[in-house]
Each structure stands twice: as structure tokens, then as C-alpha cells.
């Protein structure tokens, strides 16, 4: 099967084109890091099936960050039959820098000149034929978001694969660099190389240490290596990297000259006018805080108070009907107990909060698709730099609001190890969607009139703790300078319903999937432990589960919630945070059910408003779920950092929860 790779700058519409080609539902975002590893899909075109690979968005193939390494290595070693280079028509000259690197590799390239509709609105005109002639490769106008040009780009790609279309003219540099490249090419022609000859020669001229090391590890002969080293020893030891970079930009400028016509005076756009306010040095962070407060207020008002009550009623009525049915068919008592107390009161307690999560992801999706969330990294850059990080690290933190797993994976876009490690270690303090059901049930029980404020305060506390720990880590474990923020701010766009709903569904599906698998498994295990041994009262302190909780309770006593049910629920949340609510729903089954929600009435009997607050703080900060720990192991390649993450976050959660309870008690809030 032939393979077609998609490459391009961030925000060029690369993943949108991938979705249009394959019918896939990859998340499309307005910031770097949405695609952090290659994604694959299939396309059947004119009776033949093709493998389409979506590579991470990157400005160059310099391999400074993890996503650049993934893109570069696949292009060099994955041997795609053709590369579709997605170029933003609004920023064509800058995007062509990546194109020059692809041409240097001698790969077959087709350019998808994307976002032509936005370019036309800005009165940017293109001579497509002249662009194609200057580059020596096909240039196809596309509007990926509307499906325009999709068939043309595929036909051009197929013609490139099966036809005699060339790979573009080799980029020429100054006379000295050309001489060096030509000499090394001649030396390497008879060698078995891991990379294309011309690109390898170019990297040697650039004094690229990684390529030199791989060359030495390959089958290249000692004589060839000696010839290369002697050549530089006697002819030049100069580093030509900057001159090569200048040559690439000069080439891009020559290509666009006479082929791209821009208006003499660029008018002030709506994006410019909005950014003067929302990215203002003094107003940027307060505006971000206000927007997020409104998001959480609407989340609670709509998702909990309006839709949430309907969901609770639906689950309770369903439980009643199932119980009547099971009694009618004379099902065993243990089975009725498992279905009603375990599945309905356990897993059902989690599913009740789907409306809340739906509204949150819907609102965040609108903000992201509009282009605003990319501004958050920019306005936070100054503060983040003072704490030892760059502003783009805040992007990973915001992604963590949905789930910490993609938030941690997106750290691959950061340029140095220090930034990646610190951002990874603080990401779990970003409150993920799985914790929303925990907050919601305690808010409904004790703070029903201040739901938005409590949610906003919890998320803000998570950010503050993360920033404090970032400063601590940058001064202790990871000393050194952080890299500078280089990030494109996309124009504001009207959010597309398709993208917003896709993003929302992806998160809801993940939530429901965990509820039906991990949470169900945890609740089943908890139910078994809560009814054994048979001699003990079910759900009592002398069951196996009760004894485990009694053993753990003293650890949490200083935080105010040292009862065995609360202790067990926290530890049940380690596989998946949703299991905390599921476990509480199961353990409190049958109690205080005279009116309203069973779980809420039970919680009001076992907690106070102060202990509820400290419990929410603990769930916000303590050890992340198993999926996050597994991702940390994968990304860091170290069990040491995984264990460190599990222990230090639990310690932070315990300390802050104890402070909340003890200080609150001293002030008389209990």
C-alpha cells in the first residue's frame, strides 16, 4: 500500500486536510501540540487504497523538540511515497522554509496551498503556475475546512507517485557551501546510508552532531569518514548553519516574488483590534480569569442545575424499574444488591454528571476553535518565564483541563528537556474532567448557590500550586535557562459546530468508556470487598473493605475526613478519578434516602462544609490516575519519575487539604 505523509506548520490546516481525506475524527486545534505523534488513516481513491499519515505540525525539521523528531524521522526513515506539504496561503513565505528542507531531502513533494478563502478576503493574489514552475513541484489551491481541492491534491499526489514528475530543483547556496556539499556527496555515493545522500551531506556541512553520530554508527567505511574529516581540516572549519538558514529564506522570497501579490497597505483586521485588548500586558491575565469564571459559572448553572437534575431523576427511575424487574423474576438477593448498590448507585452516580462535563467541553471547545486559547499562552508567558518556564508550557496545562494524558503528551512540543520535565510534573495539578463529578456532588450538597465560584476557585488553586511547584523545580531539580516562546497566534475564526461537537464527543466518549470499563471494574471489586465476609454487616466497618478503610483513615484524619468510607473512595480513585464518586455512591447506598438524591443526602450526613472543601482540595491535588502515571512512564522512560510523581502529588494534596481544614477550624468555619 502506498503511503502519503502530511506535513506542515502548526495552524496550516494539516489535520483538517487529514480528516477530509480519511474521514477520521482527529482533534483539530488552534495551537501547537494538538498532533503530538503521527496519526494514520486509510483513503480509497479511484479503486486503490492509500495509507495517509498525519505528522506533528512543525516549523522546521531541525529536531529541537519531540514532535519535530517524530516528523523528521518518519520522512527520512518511513519512506513515504509522496509528501503533501500543507502551506498556509496567508503566510506562504514563512511556510516555504519547511518546503525547502523537504526539497533538500530529495523527496517527492506536492504543496497544498491551504486557506485560500482567508487569503482572498485579505486580497492576496497568487499565480499558481508561476509558483509551481519556480518550485519545480505541483502547487494545488485548497480549502480543507470546506473540502475544496481535496480530489485535486490526491490526483496530483498519485501523479507524483506513478508519474515522471520530478522532486524539485536542489536548493543552491553560496559557492563555498555548494563546494562542500558536492565533495561530501561524491565521497558518500557508494556508501550505505541511513539518510538520503544530499541531506546527509548538508547536515555534515551544518556540523549536525546527531547526523555525524548516526553516520559513524552506520556501515560507512573508515576511509570515507577520514576523507570527510580531512576535507574540513584542510579547507574549512567554519560553521555554515546560519548561512544555510539565510539561503533557505532567500529561496522562499525568490519563489514568492512575482508570484504572490499582497495589497500595498494591510488593513487593520478584527483580530488585530481584539488582540489589542485581550493580549494587553496588564489586561490579558485578568480577562483570561474572567472568561474562565464565566465558563465555570455557565457549566454549573446549565450542566448541573438544569440538565443535572434530569439526569439524576433518570438514573434513579431506571434503578427503581430494574429493581422491580429483578424482584419480579425472583433474582438472587446478592445479584439484586450488586446491580442496584454496585452498578446503579456506583457507576450510575458517575454517569449522572455527563451533562455537566458536556457543557464544560462545549464551552472550552468554542474558546479553542475561535483562536482565543492560543492567546492564553501568550499572556501568561511573562509570568511563566519568571517561574522558570516558557508561555507555551501553559498550553499543555490548559489541555490538561480536559485530560492530563494529552496535556503531558503535548509537552513534546517544548524545545528543551527542562521545560518538558517541569511541565510534565506539574500537569496533574490541572483539574481534569474526571474530577468534575466529585466536585459537583459536594457542591450540590453544601454550596448549591455558589457552584461556579467553587469550581473557579478549585481550578485556580490547581494552577497556583502548579506554578509554585514549577518555580521550586526550576530552582532545584532542573536548573538552567528556559527556551524562548515562539508561537503563532492564529486569526480569530467563527467556531465550526462540527469541530466543537467532535471535540466535545471525544471527551464525553472517553468519560463514558471509563465509566463502563475501569469504573465498573473498580466498583465491582469494591462491592465484593464491601459484602465479605458473610458474617459482617454489608457495607459495614467490619467487612474487608471497612477494615482496609479503617487502616487508612488515620492518615487522612488531620484533613478532617478520616472516616473509612472517604478514605477508601480516595484510594479507589487511583485507577480512575470517576471511581471516587462511584465508590461513595456504593458505600452510602440505602442511607438517608427519604428525599432528593441518595448520594447527596448521604454526603451531608458524613461531611461538613469545611471537610467537603478539604476533600475536594485533596481530590484536586493528590496522586493522578493510572493512565496518567502510565503516560509519565512512557514519556520520561523512567520508573523513578513515575514513582516520584505518585508520591509527591499525594504529599502536596495531603498538606494543602490539612491546611484548609486546620486553618478553617481555627477560624471557626467548622
Interval 322-363: pLDDT, tens? 888 888 888 887 787 778 766 776 677 677 778 888 888 888
Q: Which residue has the higher pLDDT, 254 or 341?
A: 254
**Highest-pLDDT range among 29-33, 211-215, 456-460, 571-575:** 456-460
Residues 575 and 616 in one domain: yes
Helix axes 564-572, 544-556, angle to 10 degrees: 90
Residues 154 and 182 in one domain: no
* pLDDT tens digits, 417-439: 888 899 999 999 999 888 988 99
**Highest-pLDDT range among 51-60, 170-179, 231-240, 373-382:** 51-60
Residues 582 and 478 in one domain: yes
Last residue of a domain, one of 134, 162, 190: 162
Residues 396 and 419 in one domain: yes
Number of domains composing the chain: 3
Note whether residue 269 is domain-resident: no
Residues 301 and 157 in one domain: no
Helix (H) / strand (E) element for 8: namely: strand 2-8
Note whether residue 376 is domain-resident: yes
Give the domain range for residue 217: 175-239
Residues 136 and 27 in one domain: yes
Does the pLDDT of residue 509 top 80, yes or no?
Answer: yes
- Distance between CA atoms of 209 and 276, rounded to whole angstroms? 43
Model confidence at 486, pLDDT cuts 50, 70, 90, reads low
Residues 234 and 348 in one domain: no
Note whether residue 61 is domain-resident: yes
**Cα→Cα distances 72→58, 597, 634, Å:** 10, 55, 20
CB distance 260 to 225 below 8 Å: no
459 bridge partner residues: none
Residues 464 and 579 in one domain: yes
Note whether residue 323 is domain-resident: yes
The torsion defined by the Cα of 486, 492, 498 and 500, in degrees rounded to 10, comes to 70
Note whether residue 250 is domain-resident: no
Note whether residue 599 is domain-resident: yes
Note whether residue 279 is domain-resident: no
In three-state secondary structure terms, 63 is: coil
Q: How crowded is residue 136: how many other Cβ atoms within 10 Å of its Cβ?
A: 14
Last residue of a domain, one of 162, 183, 218: 162
For 124-229, strand residue ranges (E) read: 125-126, 139-141
Note whether residue 256 is domain-resident: no
Residues 76 and 191 in one domain: no
* pTM (two decimals): 0.75
- Backbone CA torsion sign across 231, 234, 240, 244: negative
Residues 314 and 381 in one domain: yes
* pLDDT tens digits, 42-82: 999 988 999 999 988 888 887 666 777 888 888 888 889 99
Q: pLDDT at position 493, please?
A: 80
How far is residue 442 CA from its own chain's centroid? 28
Last residue of a domain, one of 129, 162, 195: 162
Residues 228 and 342 in one domain: no
Residues 379 and 507 in one domain: yes
- For residue 82, give the CATH number of its domain: 3.40.50.300
- Distance between CA atoms of 408 and 287, rounded to whole angstroms? 26
Model confidence at 165, pLDDT cuts 50, 70, 90, reads low
Amino acid at each position: 500500500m502506498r503511503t502519503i505523509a502530511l506535513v506542515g506548520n502548526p495552524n496550516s490546516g494539516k489535520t483538517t486536510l487529514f480528516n477530509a481525506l480519511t474521514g477520521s475524527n482527529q482533534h483539530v486545534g488552534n495551537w501547537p501540540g494538538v498532533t503530538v505523534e503521527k496519526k494514520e488513516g486509510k483513503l480509497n481513491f479511484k479503486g486503490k487504497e492509500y495509507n495517509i499519515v498525519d505528522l506533528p505540525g512543525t516549523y522546521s525539521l531541525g529536531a529541537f523538540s519531540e514532535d519535530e523528531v517524530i516528523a523528521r524521522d518518519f520522512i527520512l526513515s518511513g519512506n513515504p511515497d509522496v509528501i503533501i506539504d500543507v502551506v498556509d496561503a496567508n503566510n506562504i513565505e514563512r511556510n516555504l522554509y519547511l518546503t525547502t528542507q523537504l526539497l533538500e531531502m530529495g523527496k517527492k513533494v506536492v504543496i497544498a496551498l491551504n486557506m485560500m478563502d482567508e487569503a482572498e478576503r485579505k486580497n492576496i493574489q497568487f499565480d499558481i503556475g508561476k509558483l509551481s514552475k519556480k518550485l519545480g513541484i505541483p502547487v494545488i489551491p485548497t480549502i480543507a475546512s470546506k473540502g475544496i481541492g481535496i480530489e485535486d491534491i490526491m490526483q496530483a499526489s498519485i501523479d507524483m507517485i506513478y508519474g515522471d514528475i520530478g522532486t524539485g530543483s536542489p536548493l543552491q547556496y553560496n559557492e563555498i557551501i555548494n563546494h562542500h556539499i558536492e565533495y561530501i556527496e561524491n565521497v558518500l555515493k557508494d556508501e550505505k546510508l541511513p539518510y538520503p545522500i544530499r541531506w546527509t551531506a548538508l547536515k555534515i556541512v551544518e556540523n549536525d552532531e546527531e547526523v555525524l553520530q548516526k553516520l559513524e554508527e552506520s556501515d560507512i567505511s573508515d576511509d570515507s569518514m577520514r576523507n570527510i574529516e580531512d576535507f574540513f581540516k584542510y579547507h574549512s572549519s567554519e560553521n555554515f548553519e546560519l548561512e544555510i538558514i539565510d539561503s533557505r529564506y532567500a529561496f522562499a522570497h525568490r519563489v514568492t516574488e512575482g508570484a504572490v501579490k499582497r495589497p500595498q497597505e494591510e488593513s487593520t483586521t478584527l483580530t488585530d483590534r481584539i488582540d489589542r485588548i485581550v493580549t494587553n500586558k496588564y489586561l490579558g491575565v485578568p480577562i483570561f480569569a474572567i472568561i474562565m469564571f464565566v465558563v465555570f459559572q455557565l457549566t454549573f448553572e446549565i450542566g448541573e442545575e438544569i440538565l443535572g437534575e434530569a439526569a439524576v431523576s433518570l438514573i434513579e427511575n431506571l434503578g427503581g424499574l430494574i429493581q422491580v424487574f429483578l424482584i419480579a423474576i425472583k433474582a438472587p438477593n446478592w445479584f439484586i444488591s450488586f446491580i442496584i448498590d454496585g452498578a446503579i448507585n456506583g457507576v450510575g452516580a458517575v454517569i449522572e454528571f455527563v451533562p455537566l462535563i458536556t457543557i464544560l467541553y462545549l464551552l472550552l471547545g468554542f474558546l479553542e476553535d475561535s483562536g482565543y486559547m492560543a492567546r492564553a499562552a501568550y499572556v501568561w508567558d511573562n509570568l511563566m518565564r519568571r517561574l522558570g518556564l516558557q508561555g507555551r508550557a501553559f498550553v499543555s496545562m490548559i489541555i490538561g483541563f480536559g485530560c492530563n494524558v494529552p496535556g503531558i503528551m503535548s509537552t513534546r512540543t517544548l524545545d528543551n528537556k527542562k521545560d518538558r520535565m517541569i511541565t510534565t510534573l506539574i500537569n496533574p495539578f490541572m483539574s481534569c474532567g474526571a474530577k468534575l463529578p466529585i466536585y459537583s456532588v459536594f457542591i450540590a450538597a453544601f454550596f448549591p448557590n455558589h457552584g461556579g465560584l467553587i469550581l473557579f476557585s478549585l481550578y485556580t488553586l490547581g494552577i497556583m500550586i502548579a506554578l509554585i511547584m514549577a518555580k521550586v523545580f526550576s530552582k532545584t531539580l532542573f536548573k538552567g535557562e528556559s527556551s524562548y516562546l515562539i508561537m503563532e497566534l492564529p486569526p480569530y475564526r467563527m467556531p465550526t459546530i462540527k469541530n466543537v461537537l467532535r471535540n466535545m464527543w471525544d471527551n464525553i466518549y472517553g468519560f463514558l468508556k471509563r465509566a463502563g470499563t475501569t469504573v465498573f471494574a473498580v466498583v465491582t471489586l469494591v462491592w465484593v470487598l464491601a459484602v465479605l465476609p458473610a458474617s459482617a454487616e454489608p457495607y459495614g466497618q467490619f467487612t474487608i473493605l471497612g477494615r482496609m478503610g479503617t487502616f487508612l483513615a488515620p492518615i487522612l484524619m488531620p484533613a478532617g475526613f478520616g472516616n473509612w468510607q472517604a478514605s477508601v473512595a480516595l484510594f479507589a480513585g487511583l485507577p480512575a478519578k470517576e471511581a471516587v464518586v462511584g465508590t461513595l455512591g456504593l458505600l452510602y447506598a440505602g442511607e438517608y434516602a427519604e428525599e432528593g438524591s441518595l448520594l447527596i443526602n448521604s454526603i451531608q450526613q458524613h461531611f461538613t462544609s469545611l471537610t467537603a472543601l478539604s476533600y475536594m482540595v485533596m481530590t484536586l491535588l493528590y496522586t493522578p490516575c493510572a493512565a496518567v502515571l502510565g503516560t509519565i512512564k512512557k514519556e520520561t522512560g523512567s520508573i523513578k519519575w513515575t514513582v516520584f510523581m505518585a508520591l509527591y502529588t499525594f504529599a502536596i494534596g495531603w498538606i494543602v487539604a490539612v491546611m484548609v481544614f486546620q486553618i478553617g477550624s481555627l477560624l471557626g468555619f467548622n
